[in-house]
Amino acid sequence: MRMNGDISFLKDGFRLDGRRPDELRPIKIEVGVLSRADGSCYLEMGNNKVMAAVYGPREVHPRHLQEVTRAIVRFRYNMASFSVEERKRPGPDRRSHEVSKVSREALAPVIQTSYFPRSVIDIFVEVLQADAGTRTAGINAASVALADAGIPMKSMISACAAGKVDGQIVMDPMKLEDNFGDADMPIAMTPSGEITLLQMDGNLTIREMKEGLDVAKRGCQQIYELQKAALIERYSRMGDLERCKNAESTQGIQVI
Amino acid sequence: MDRTDRDVVVPGDLLSENPRDSGEGTYVKDDKVYSLLYGLANRRRDKIRVIPLAGKYTPSTGDIVIGIISDITFSNWIVNINSPYEGLLHISEYPKRIETTEMPKYLSMGSSIMARVKDVDSTMKVELTLNDKRLGSLKKGRVIEISPSRVPRLIGKGGSMINMLKKELDCNIFVGQNGRIWVNGRDEDMDLALKIIHIIETEAHTSGLTDRISEFLKNEKIARS
């Protein structure tokens, strides 16, 4: 869907939003934002705003899905009807099924499911505002939420996309670049470089694909550092007695 | 905070190059030790452990837990033990011989019990027992819940924290391994106990906590008298 010559994506080496080709959008990560969930994370990646919640391990319903030797992992990706310009018809559709499936498969390899037989780990990702790359944002948020829930994992998972506009490979494409560019290639990986998600939409030569992979991997590494920093920050910030004293309340304690 | 002893780590962080250092919450890959959890890395007795900051209770044999009866079947009480797995208390594990029809008379739906985990099999079938003097139905006091990952901190090294609380608060406190706590005493003492337990729960990861709690208790007492 190239708009011939109407848009130029690069000007003096800078992109439409002022980024360099190998630069991420600004990322903001907040850990533990939902009190009912076992683990949660709110993440902004440019204009993407997503919320991830993790529940479990918990009992499996419906019962027939349960596995005797390991936990099952479920992932639900959902876009809010107000997350895009034209109202999105609420409810699951072909696209959200696909994103849920690939996201689950991006995270499941690192989760130690054998620790929790006959249980389920439920991951929910809600997209509040979409601006291209919501599946990568969702995976990044879910990975942080899983860690926050205390679920044993071999490593974290980070996800980032590479795109192609005006013949140039760019990191983490935003909406305009995704819609009117030539290709979009989201990946997810562990910090050691094992890829757990690789998709591509559009056309890339083998050489371009290799370059794109390289760019997206570098994006993942940067995102991993941010995820880690957000998790560590949470527990260095907390823990002064004064705050609790001033609160003078026993909220959060439930007498059964 | 001592950065070398208690570092916050995330899953996949490299902890050591020596596979023999691998303790709880870690795994070995290519002769290197990595963290499995988001928690505090702790080196003790030449093992590195990662103490989780969150997580569910996984039953293990010998644990004493506080459960709530959630269902009654022909010969078992189904017990909610604040875990992904439910506990089974067989009629024969009740200290007294009772008939099936009398089960609800002794332990009805919603009753709180202090029970021991008798056995856990590989499919996580959890069998409980009440056959011990210390165990049984909880008829007085209050039961509260904290995150099971905070239980070791609430007990403290060799029971230092919990013994201090019991003495200073003039309350009977029992901490179940599953994160449920039974408190019994005068109402105002229990109120204070709940408040303190809440502080310990939110600040479990900080060092010098026992001393700070002790100080806090002293001030509360002065304020009261």
Residue by residue, pLDDT tens for chain B (225 residues) are: 333 456 899 999 999 999 999 999 999 999 999 999 999 998 877 899 999 999 999 999 999 999 999 999 999 999 999 999 999 999 999 999 999 999 999 999 999 999 999 999 999 999 999 999 999 999 999 999 999 999 999 998 889 899 999 988 889 999 999 999 999 999 988 999 999 999 999 888 887 888 888 888 888 888 887
Q: What residue ranges in chain A does DSSP mark as E strands?
A: 10-11, 14-15, 27-31, 39-45, 48-59, 72-79, 119-129, 158-165, 168-171, 183-189, 195-198, 201-202
Domain boundary pick from B15, B32, B52: B52
Mutate to test the interface with A, among B6, B38, B85 (most CBs of A within 10 A): B38
B191 and B158 assigned to the same domain: yes
Measured between alpha carbons, how far is B204 from B152 in angstroms, rounded to an integer? 9
Measured between alpha carbons, how far is A255 from B174 in angstroms, rounded to an integer? 15
Nearest by CB to residue B36, choosing from A38, A152, A241, is A152
In a domain, B57, yes or no: no
In a domain, B2, yes or no: no
B87 and B22 assigned to the same domain: no
The CATH number of the domain holding residue B15 is: 2.40.50.100
B70 and B23 assigned to the same domain: no
**pLDDT for the residue B205:** 82
**Are the beta carbons of B54 and A148 separated by less than 8 Å?**
yes
Q: Chain A, 105-164: which have a CB under 8 Å from a chain B CB?
A: 110, 112, 115-119, 147-156
What tokens were used for A47? 């204009």
The HSE-up count of residue A188 (CA atoms within 13 Å, CB side) is 27
**pLDDT for the residue A236:** 74
What is the tally of helices (H) and strands (E) in chain A? 5, 12
Domain boundary pick from B138, B160, B180: B138
CA distances from B10 to A68, A147, B209, B210 (A): 28, 7, 23, 26
Nearest by CB to residue A150, choosing from B38, B112, B212, is B38
First to last CA, chain B: 34
B80 and B133 assigned to the same domain: yes
B112 and B169 assigned to the same domain: no
**Are the beta carbons of A150 and B85 separated by less than 8 Å?**
no
**Are the beta carbons of A150 and B195 separated by less than 8 Å?**
no
What tokens were used for A118? 């006959």
Phi-psi region of A8 (alpha: psi -120 to 50; beta: other; left: phi over 0): beta
The residue segments making up the domain with residue B171 are 142-224
**pLDDT for the residue A254:** 47
Give A-chain residues touching B29 at CB under 8 angstroms. 154
The count of structural domains within chain B is: 3
The CATH number of the domain holding residue B213 is: 3.30.1370.10
In a domain, B86, yes or no: yes
The whole-angstrom distance between A32's CA and the closest CA on chain B is 11
pLDDT digits (tens, 9 = 90+) for B148-183: 999 999 998 889 899 999 988 889 999 999 999 999
pLDDT digits (tens, 9 = 90+) for A152-180: 999 999 999 999 999 999 999 999 999 99
The whole-angstrom distance between B8's CA and the closest CA on chain A is 6
The residue ranges of every structural domain in chain A are 10-232
A199 CA to centre of own chain:
15
Measured between alpha carbons, how far is A192 from A197 in angstroms, rounded to an integer? 14
Quote the DSSP letter at residue B225.
Answer: -
**Dihedral of alpha carbons B4, B7, B13, B15, sign:** positive
First to last CA, chain A: 60
CB contacts < 8 A (A, B): 122
B150 and B216 assigned to the same domain: yes
**pLDDT for the residue B208:** 83
Specify the 3-state DSSP secondary structure of A76: strand
What tokens were used for B225? 């008298």
Domain boundary pick from B138, B165, B181: B138
**Are the beta carbons of A250 and B198 separated by less than 8 Å?**
yes
Measured between alpha carbons, how far is A170 from A13 in angstroms, rounded to an integer? 11
Q: Are strands A183-189 and A201-202 parallel, antiparallel or unpaired?
A: antiparallel
Specify the 3-state DSSP secondary structure of A63: helix
pLDDT average, residue stretch A223-235: 94
Complex prediction ipTM: 0.89
The CATH code belonging to domain A10-232 is: 3.30.230.70
Give A-chain residues touching B202 at CB under 8 angstroms. 238-239, 244
B131 and B153 assigned to the same domain: no
- Alpha-carbon torsion angle B67, B69, B71, B77, nearest 10: 80
Nearest by CB to residue A235, choosing from B8, B124, B149, is B8
Give B-chain residues touching A61 at CB under 8 angstroms. none
**Are the beta carbons of A154 and B27 separated by less than 8 Å?**
yes
Of the candidates B132, B152, B145, the residue with the CA atom closest to the CA atom of residue B198 = B145
Measured between alpha carbons, how far is B180 from A79 in angstroms, rounded to an integer? 37
**A131-135, A183-187, B188-192: range with lowest mean pLDDT:** B188-192
In a domain, B150, yes or no: yes
Q: What is the pTM of this model?
A: 0.90
pLDDT digits (tens, 9 = 90+) for A4-19: 556 689 999 999 999 9
pLDDT average, residue stretch A226-231: 96
* A21 and A169 Cβ atoms separated by less than 8 Å: yes
Measured between alpha carbons, how far is B11 from B23 in angstroms, rounded to an integer? 14
**pLDDT for the residue B30:** 94
| Beta bridge partners of residue A129, listed in sequence order | A49
The CATH number of the domain holding residue B91 is: 2.40.50.140
B96 and B133 assigned to the same domain: yes
Of the candidates A145, A144, A178, A150, the residue with the CA atom closest to the CA atom of residue A164 = A178
Give B-chain residues touching A150 at CB under 8 angstroms. 37-39, 52-56, 149
